Structure formats: C-alpha cells, structure tokens
Amino acid sequence: MNKPATISTNEIPIPNWRFGIPAATPLRDLPTELGEFDVRYALIENENGLIGGIVDLQRVFELLNSDNPTERARWADVAVGSIAEVLVPCGDDLERVDNPFEQPLITTVRDEVGTAAVVVGGETFVNWNRVNAAFQRNHLDPVTEIPGRQSFNRRIREEVARAIRSEQPLAVMLIDLDNFKEVNDRYGHRTGDALLWTVADGLRRAIRSYDFVARIGGDEFAVLCNCCGPESIALPVSRLRESLNLQLSQFTPSQVNVTASIGVAIATQVDECCCAEAIVEQADICLYHAKRSGRNTSFFVDLDPFARPKFAPVELDKPLPRG
C-alpha cells in the first residue's frame, strides 16, 4: 500500500477540472479568464499521460488578449505544452501513481527527488517550492538563466509539429561566439560566464515574444523563429546581430575581439517527412560555412519538405562594425 503524501501549509489547492490538460491542447481551447475560482496554474499531461509540466493560466490570458491582433492569432494556435514549465526532462522521470486502497482516492505526482503534487478526491495540491526547484534545475541553464539544451530539444519538436499544422515556415538559428575561448584563457571562467549571461540577455531582448532562445552548448545558442521564410529572415537575423554587437562591444575587454557567427536553416514546407534533427543539422552546416568564411557573419539555407537544402549555404549579411 502506498503511503499518502503529507500536504504542508505551503501547498496550494487547485480544482480538479484544471488538472491534466493535454500538452497538445491549443491555447484557444483554454479558459481566457481566471474565473470564479481564481485559479492561476494547471498541470499539463504529456503524450504518455504523465504530468510533464505546469502552465500559468494568467500568462495564457495575457497572450490571448494582446493588443496586437497578429500576436493574438499566433498564440491561439500554440500548444499549451510549448509554454508549460517543465517539471523534469521530457517527463520520463516523472511518475503518476494511483492508489486504489486509500479513501478518498489519492494520486501522487513525483520526480526523482520527491513529491511535486498530490490529488486527493476532487482537489489537486501542488508543492510549488518543490516544482520551482525542479523547474530551475531542469529547465534553465544555470549560467545564462535561459532554457538549456533539453528544453530546446523539446521545444523544437513542438514547433515542428506546429509548423506542420499551420503550414507556416520555421527558422532555426545557431549562434556561436567567435574567440570566446580567449576570454576564458585571459580573464578566467568567471568573466566568461558573465559574458555568456550578457549574450543570452541580448538574445532574449532581440527576439519576439513568441520565439524561443536557448543555450545548447558552451558558447553556442539557438533561436527558433516562427513564420519566417527566406524572404523575411534577414530582419530577425539583423536584429539579433545588432543586439549582440551592442552587448559584446560594451562588455568584452578591448584586447579580445568577440563576435558571433550564425547559421540559419529555414523549413518553408514542413510536413511529416521533416524532422527536427535534420533542420538543426542543416543550420549547423550553415554555421560551419560562417566560421570558415571568416566569422562574424551569417549563412542560411532553405529546405525542402525532406529537410534537404534547395541550394548551397549563402551569406545572408555583411559583418557589422564593432563599437
């Protein structure tokens, strides 16, 4: 017999009808106002029926009631799983256990550390201290405070699925810092970490509210840019470059010339044959071309439905002057 979890005073009850929303549910199908129960959070079920994250319903309300009609329409089709805070990586380590021997029925939701939520009868109790700790550990990169590689891998799969449904293009940008190792070698890893945080902050400020940025490696970042085809990709790349140029020129010691190389792959005809890994691979090839051509530049390629390039990687822009 499973022992019921102890519910402490810092756990918040949530009505049962907000428990276990499928991750694929579009935002348009969620409540657009908090309602009489003043409920702010809901647990999200992944494709395996396990609890994979938590969504802030106040945020949903704000997105669906934006003053910008284009943003309202864009967010309406986004899956709730795309904006959920992840409890544990991919939900694989999260366990949902039903206990038929206790009355009332008790369901616990726990990860490898401990209990995150408990359902008792018609109420769900969430230990937000526990959830926040798991979120910080698994969702955010500790150095830059933006999502890490695991979150990027999850998000890109969701965005590819969204692009298939909406028949809109998806651009994947890989950004690698040039000469970053020299900063670590000359000034130490503490200065290098501070530079990484500065770069992440610049990227976060430069992207649109519904795009996504993550740190996926030592000095490598990724951006998912929705609804940007070959004819419109120059603007967001230019915006990123300007932000990075400003941040780097203000932070980097004058003895080290840190710049950014960018590789972009655009999936304009996304269908079931196109996988996330193939798009990332093509963006990485473009990044290689940017590095090989002298760095501090951007190369891009347009992909067919099978994620094969329609042409060889081409330079998107000219290097921006430093300072």
Q: Is 150 exposed, middle or buried (0-12, 13-18, 19+ CB in 10 A)?
A: middle
The sign of the dihedral angle between the CA atoms of 117, 86, 96, 61 is: positive
Q: How far is CA 179 from CA 17, 58, 249, 258, in A?
A: 53, 42, 14, 5
Q: What pLDDT, on the 0 to 100 scale, is given for residue 10?
A: 40
Contact call for residues 319 and 259 (beta carbons, < 8 A) = yes
Domains of the chain: 11-138 (3.10.580), 149-315 (3.30.70.270)
Q: Phi/psi zone of residue 189: left (φ > 0), alpha (ψ -120 to 50 degrees), beta? A: alpha
- Predicted model pTM: 0.65
- Quick one: pLDDT at residue 225? 92
14: β partners = 124
Rounded to whole angstroms, how far apart are CA atoms 48 and 22? 10
Whether 219 sits among the annotated catalytic residues: the reply is yes
CA separation for the pair 151, 138 (Å, rounded): 8
Q: CA–CA separation, 87 vs 134, rounded Å? A: 6
Query: How many other CB atoms sit within 10 Å of the CB of residue 178?
Result: 19
Q: Rounded distance, CA 276 to CA 158, Å?
A: 9
Catalytic residue among 141, 219, 284, 317: 219
List average pLDDT for each run of 10 residues in the chain, which is 323 residues long.
35 44 82 52 66 73 83 84 59 42 50 57 57 62 87 85 86 94 89 92 89 93 91 90 86 78 91 84 96 92 88 73 42
DSSP H/E element including 250: helix 234-251
Residue 79 near residue 55 (C-beta atoms within 8 A): no
